[in-house]
Amino acid sequence: MTSVTVVVPMTIRRRGGRKQIIGPDGSPMQAGGDAAGLTETRGDPALVKALARAFRWRRMLEEGRYASIRDLARAEGVNRTYVGRLLNLTLLAPDLVDAILDGRRTAAAPGLQADGSIPSAWSAQRGAWG
C-alpha cells in the first residue's frame, strides 16, 4: 500500500471570535463550491458548541468509552451535572436541532431552561416553541 501526503498551504485567523481558513492566495475560503466539506452555521455559537458536545458525549457513552456520566465528566474536566444537562439536548426533535443550527431558534426558547429540562415528546417540544 502506498501513502500520499497532500500539503495545502493555509492559515487560520480569528475573526469576531470565529476561526476562518485563509487560502494560499490570501482570500478567505467560503463554504460551498470552493471549499467542499465546510459547513457554515448561522446559529448561536455557544448553543451550536453545546449541541456538538452533547452529541459527541452521547456517542462516547454509547460506544462504551466511558461507563458513566461521572467518568465522562471527569475525563472531560467538567461538572457531572453540566454533562447531564447537555446530554438532554440530544433528545431534541431533529427539526428543532436543524432550526438551532440555522439560527431560527435559540436557547432562550421555552423548554430549554437552565435546569436542562426538555419535554420528552417531540410534539411537546415543538409546542413549547409555538
Task: Classify residue 1: in a domain, yes or no.
Answer: no
Residue 74 and residue 36 in one domain:
no
Residue 104 shares a structural domain with residue 57: yes
pTM: 0.63
Are residues 52 and 30 part of one domain? no
> 81 with 50, same domain?
yes
Q: With beta carbons less than 8 A apart as the criterion, state whether 73 and 80 touch.
A: yes
Among 83, 13, 86, 77, which Cα is nearest to 46's?
86
What pLDDT is attached to residue 40?
A: 59
Residues 59 and 33 in one domain: no
Enumerate the β-bridge partners of residue 21: 12
Its domain, for residue 79, covers: 45-129
- C-alpha pair distances (Å), 58 with each of 42, 98, 114: 24, 18, 20
pLDDT in tens, 69-109: 999 999 999 999 999 989 988 988 898 888 888 888 776 55
What is the band of 33 on the pLDDT scale with cuts at 50, 70, 90? Answer: very low
The answer for residues whose C-beta is within 8 angstroms of residue 42's C-beta and 6 or more apart is 101, 102, 103
Residue 35 located in a structural domain: yes
Q: Does any domain span residue 3? A: no
